[in-house]
Structure 1
Amino acid sequence: MSTPPRLTFVNRQGERHARKLSLFGLRALIEEMQCQGVTARAVLSGTGVLSKDFDDDASLITRDQRLAIYRNAQRLAKRSDVALLAGARQRISDFGIYGYALASSRTLGDALDLSFRHLRQAGPVLQITSRVEDGVIKLRSHDPESLGDLLPFVAEFWRSSNLTFLSRVLERPFPSLRMLLPYPAPPHWRAYGRTFNCPIEFEAEAMEWHFAESIWQLPLPNANPAAAKVCQRFCEQVLSEQPQGSELTDSIRAALVNRPGRFARIDDIAAHLGMSLRTLNRRLASEGLSYQSIIDDVRKTLAVEYLERTTLSVEHICERVGFSDPSNFRKAFKKWTGRSPSDFRDADLR
């Protein structure tokens, strides 16, 4: 039985201004908002995204644009559970060729494996990794606090959308085991149970979605090997046209963001990746990189996110990005951006 890779996907938050995310899934949000009396124009206002962009499967937007759409919807919605309701509207066609590729796969495991390889096309805004423990697949979303007060909306829409989509692929409810969410129960918390049909743990220490490894073998009712192959080739083509880091550097970044502020030694990373220290250093050198340069980049991207998306003090951010001395953090941040942390945050607020 094939099982999911430990690393599924890393959406590097430092590349917030690169057009890497698709519009897939957002049509359902627009439709739900319209049902609540809010126009598409209002939801897209100030985001730089136009209604006509939804007619092109190849349209790409930035992470900031997707978050701006979420923020508009959260602000304008007439109901607090709008994200759950919007996610429940998802259709296979809302995910374009990516959706058809998954639906025509032979088994749910094949579909999930394909989704892990092409997760960027589904538009996630957080790093996502997976692991298998005691027969349970655990999907983890990393650094959720970087989303600030938008986190519950993003979590509700992302999980409701994916659960609805997978249920349509299966043509029966997707069997979730447990959901862990690192924020307090919202006013509409009872709707979580109805939507996800599994135990929900609010104020958890991590943000995870658990389901049984055994579902990997479930056959899909619309399996079509020929159609799946055509759709998968198209997905590969679209993904190959999008800029991204190498598999090695993405794997290292994922391992580092698992525990921000306490970065592993390079020999531990090599062991985690199943290679010798010498091999890891040689492969990094071939890409013109060093382990320290990757750590510095992760520190920089996390620091920028904390400054822009949270109200954490500079001292707390310093600890979270692995500096023991705030003065050293300020010097490093100025070297990275040309501004002090406080100047950077003040400029972002203006």
Structure 2
Amino acid sequence: MPHSSTPAQYILILIDMVENQGHNRDQLLRGTTLADTGISGIGARVEAAEFNRLVTNALVLSGDPSLGLQLGMRLNLSAHALLGQAFMTCKNMKEVMGLFIKYYHLLAPALNLEFDIQPDRSTLTTRVRSEDLPIEFSYELIYAGILNTLRGLLNLDKIELRIELPYSAPGHVGKYFDLFGDDIQFDCAQGRVSFDSAMLEIPLPDSNPALRSLYEEECARLLADLEEKDSISEQSLRLLRKLEGQYPKMPQIASMLNLSSRTYRRRLERESLSYQRLLDQVRAEHATRHLQHTELPLSTIAYMVGFNDASNFRRAYARWTGSTPSEVRN
């Protein structure tokens, strides 16, 4: 995946939020290098570990479990920097979603997205990979941010979305309904946000094809800069996570990365890794998510991660993680 870092604008908004609640900046920045280095410069980015530490501090200081919703609702088009400006120059929402799917890693490197358009509804499937933050915070931030961005683009206060979340309803569930409306489901297999496909054809008032092209060129350059920092294992993990349920053979992944099998294997060996180890890591991630956040039968989960037999899956999962599926589910 692209180098894991977060736009500095998001950090500055979070700091402002927590300070406005009366909390001390030094306590908020404790355990990070931000107190010494600061955040400055257009296009500045902050390492994911720093962002995660900052969020953890903010959750403790504020004592507010709905902090993700609040932060997401502060993420407007300006907060998304260059990509937000590109959104505004699009012809309609269909073009916006096309740009978003191509360049969302500029905003959230730890995120995997898939967008499916059907005649009646369009669905954005989201997978969050950060294990250092509460899953509720991550999805609240993403979905509230999507809602607020749509409001800004369409100049509408009310936008009808269907929200599916891969965890149980939290104690502050009322705030979800206040923000998103009544069409919310919890304990789902995956996170999804969907809407009427007619929304894709809504024209945007500031459409400018020439300016959009310039913005997209710059987005492509920024994304390439981030991806240059990737190791071959990180690039492989990104592909495997996006291909959930398919789990291709090593030569296929090598081909996707424009490498021969021999070169691909050699570059992994330089990192003291093997393709099988990466594959097992991703299958363990996928299985763990289903075990923790769904009630799917073990045989179904086993099949979803490439096993025809539940007993073989149990042994493999214990080897991957050091825990049995029943221990993780309980």
TM-score, structure 1 normalization: 0.69
Structural RMSD (CA): 4.2
Tell me the CA shift for residue 55 of structure 1. 2.9
* Counterpart among 99, 114, 123 of residue 114 in structure 1: 99
1:273-293 residue CA offsets vs partner (Å, 9 max, x unmatched): 9xxxxx969966368347x95
What is the rounded CA distance, in whole Å, between the counterparts of 1:282 and 1:303 in structure 2? 23
1:185 equivalent among 155, 164, 169: 169
One-letter identity of the residue aligned with 1:154? S
Which residue is equivalent to 1:85? 70
Q: Distance in 2 between the 1:199 and 1:282 partners? A: 40
Answer yes or no: is the 8 Å Cα contact 2:121–2:195 preserved in 1.
yes
For 1:42, the aligned partner's letter is: Q
User: Which residue number in structure 1 is paired with residue 203 of structure 2?
Assistant: 219
Instruction: Name the SS of the counterpart of 1:61 in structure 2.
Output: strand
1:298 pairs with 2:282: no
Alignment of 1:3-82 (within 5 A): 11=1, 18-50=3-35, 54-82=39-67
With over 3 angstroms needed to count, the CA separation of the structure-2 counterparts of 1:265 and 1:71, relative to structure 1, is: same
Distance apart, 1:184 and its partner CA:
2.1
- CA gap of 1:251–1:158, structure 2 versus 1, over 3 A, is closer
2:124 match: secondary structure? strand
- CA-CA distance at 1:200 after TM superposition: 0.9
Distance, in Å, in 2 between the alignment partners of 1:62 and 1:306 is 28
Q: Which moved more, 1:20-29 or 1:91-100?
A: 20-29
Q: Does 1:253 align with 2:240?
A: yes
Counterpart amino acid of residue 140 in structure 1: T
Listed as ranges, the gaps of 5+ residues in structure 1 are 1-10, 13-17, 274-278, 334-339, 343-350
Indicate the residue corresponding to 1:336 in structure 2: none
Query: Counterpart of 1:215 in 2: which secondary structure?
Result: helix
Match of 1:230 among 214, 227, 251: 214
C-alpha separation in 2, matches of 1:234 and 1:283: 24
The DSSP-based 3-state class of the residue aligned with 2:28 is helix
- Counterpart in 2 of 1:3? none
Partner of 2:295: none
Residue pair 2:241, 2:282 contacting (<8 A) in 1 also: no
Q: Distance in 2 between matches of 1:142 and 1:188?
A: 22
SS for the counterpart of 1:129 is strand
Aligned-pair CA distance for 1:164: 0.6
Match of 2:184 in 1: 200
Letter of the 1:84 counterpart: L
Counterpart Cα distance in 1 of 2:238 and 2:4: 21
Q: Report the Cα distance in structure 1 between the residues aligned to 2:116 and 2:158, rounded to whole angstroms.
A: 19
The CA deviation at 1:197 is 2.8
Contact 2:110/2:128 (<8 A) preserved: no
Residue 270 of structure 2: aligned partner: none
Runs of 5+ consecutive residues of structure 2 not aligned to the other structure:
266-272, 293-297, 324-330
Once the two structures are superposed, what CA deviation does each residue of 1:18-54 show, in whole Å capped at 9, x if it has no partner? 4444334333322221221124443332133358654
- Asked whether 1:126 is paired with 2:111, we answer yes
SS at match of 2:34: coil
- 1:278-289 equivalent positions in 2, closer than 5 A: 285=260, 288-289=263-264
Partner Cα distance (1:242, 1:40) in 2: 29
Identity of aligned residues (%): 19
Residues in 2 aligned to 1:237 and 1:78: alpha-carbon distance in whole angstroms: 40
